[in-house]
Amino acid sequence: MIERTLRPLSLGDIFDEGFDLYKKNLPFLLLIAALITIPFKVLTSFIDLQVLHRVVDMSSMMRGGGGAGGDDPSQMVGWMSGLAQGMTVAAPLYLVIMALELCVLASATSARYLREPITMRGAYFSVLRRIIPLIVTSIFWGVLMTLGFFACVVPVVFPLTLLSMLGHVFTIEKVSYFKALGRSRALVSGDSFRVFAALFLLWLIGALMILGFEMAIRFLFTLILQALPGAQALTSGASVVGGYTVREHVISELGDGLGQLIVTPFVVCVMTVLYYDLRVRTEAFDIALSAKHLGYPALNLQPGVGGHVPAAPPPAPRPQQPGGRGVPPRNVGGTMGGAS
């Protein structure tokens, strides 16, 4: 297996290597993502549809469309209570499933980037065996994002940037809870502007790709409906809110789900390359990796931790002459003719 050599990268090089990693491992990464994305998208689509129906019910009550009960405050309280309970259950579920997908993909992309063996089962097992720390750490992240939304002038940009390496720290370095949050902050804080630029570009590319997939699916779906007689009447569906039909919801969710399935592995590939670039710049991880390949003891080069330089490996034995005696050392200090 060819050893991976690392070096500091520019932002363009990070995206280039991330795309190369994504392209070479696309089927493997898509299969990993599909096992989480497809069931998750089905579940979230159902939840979103229920929320839309509740919005319609509330608008009917506010307009008095619910009859005599439309002005009953108890109905409004009951509706708000049900919606709050649903969001209380759904929000942590979203966080945990998104964190699970991110960490499994981080495990897979990290191994492939360093040219180490990894299987889909191994990628999942490395994360699932730490499922409790994953749940707690992801909830900590969600709480900090919520606080950052209210505390920052630009909502959540600052904490999102500092904690962007949380999934990789949790998965690759096996660090959890607040220690993982602090580790991500320490990695990013010295190069936060470049990390923010990478996150912004990833968001822009991802949004355009998801929009493109949604438009393509909408176009194909329209062609199919036009080609099948009577299909328009069968699939029109009832209006949910503001003319938004069930059919529109299905098309939107299909496009969004396919876009996420394609885009998420690419995002994680770029983030993996960025993670190792940060470690190369702040901790000389390239030296530690080279030392590992050469058979040295593990280097501890993290800032603030007492690192050490390992002893050199033992010298190779001198070649033997046919008679069994070692070859005498060459006199490199003498001059021509043997004069010293």
Q: Write out pLDDT tens, residues 169-209.
A: 999 999 988 899 889 988 898 888 899 999 999 989 888 88
CB of 28 closer than 8 Å to CB of 105: no
Mean pLDDT across 56-75: 53
Within a domain: residue 116?
A: yes
- Tell me if 32 is assigned to some domain: yes
Sign of the CA dihedral with 265 first, then 13, 21, and 110 last: negative
Residues 6+ apart with CB under 8 A from 188: 161, 162, 163, 164, 165, 195, 278
Tell me how many degrees the CA angle 131-133-137 measures, rounded to the nearest 5: 120
Buried b (16+ CB within 10 A) or exposed e, 289-323: bbbeeeebeebebbeeeeeeeeeeeeeeeeeeeee
For position 132, what pLDDT does the model report? 93
Asked whether residue 185 is domain-assigned, the answer is yes
Domain count, the chain: 1
pLDDT confidence band for 323 (50 / 70 / 90): low
Pairing, β 239-241 against β 244-245: antiparallel
Residue 75 lies in a domain: yes
Residue 306 pLDDT: 38
Least confident interval from 18-22, 103-107, 324-328: 324-328
Give the residue-averaged pLDDT of 28-57.
Answer: 76
Domain range spanning residue 97? 11-190+264-288
Higher pLDDT, 102 or 146: 102
Q: Which of 110, 160, 61, 50 has its CA nearest to residue 274?
A: 110
CB distance 281 to 301 below 8 Å: no
For 116-149, give one letter per residue: b (16+ CB within 10 A) or e. Answer: eebeeeebbebbeebeebbeebbebbbebeeebe
Packing angle between helix 246-283 and helix 11-24, nearest 10 degrees? 120
Task: Tell me whether residue 212 is in a domain.
Answer: no
Beta-bridged to residue 320, according to DSSP, are 326
Helix or strand holding residue 31 (H, E): helix 26-62
Residue 329 falls inside a structural domain:
no
Residue 132: φ, ψ to 5°: -65, -50
Residue 115 lies in a domain: yes
91 within domain boundaries:
yes
Q: What is the spatial distance between Cα 22 and Cα 30, in angstroms, rounded to a whole number?
A: 10
E strand spans, the chain? 239-241, 244-245
Q: Is the pLDDT of residue 334 over 60?
A: no
CA distance 188 to 203: 18
Residue type for position 6: L
CA distances from 41 to 32, 38, 228, 254 (A): 15, 5, 27, 9
Q: pLDDT band for position 27 (50/70/90)?
A: very high
From 202, 163, 203, select the one nearest 183 (Cα to Cα): 163
Tens of pLDDT along 225-250? 677 665 555 455 555 555 556 666 66
State the average pLDDT over residues 261-284.
90
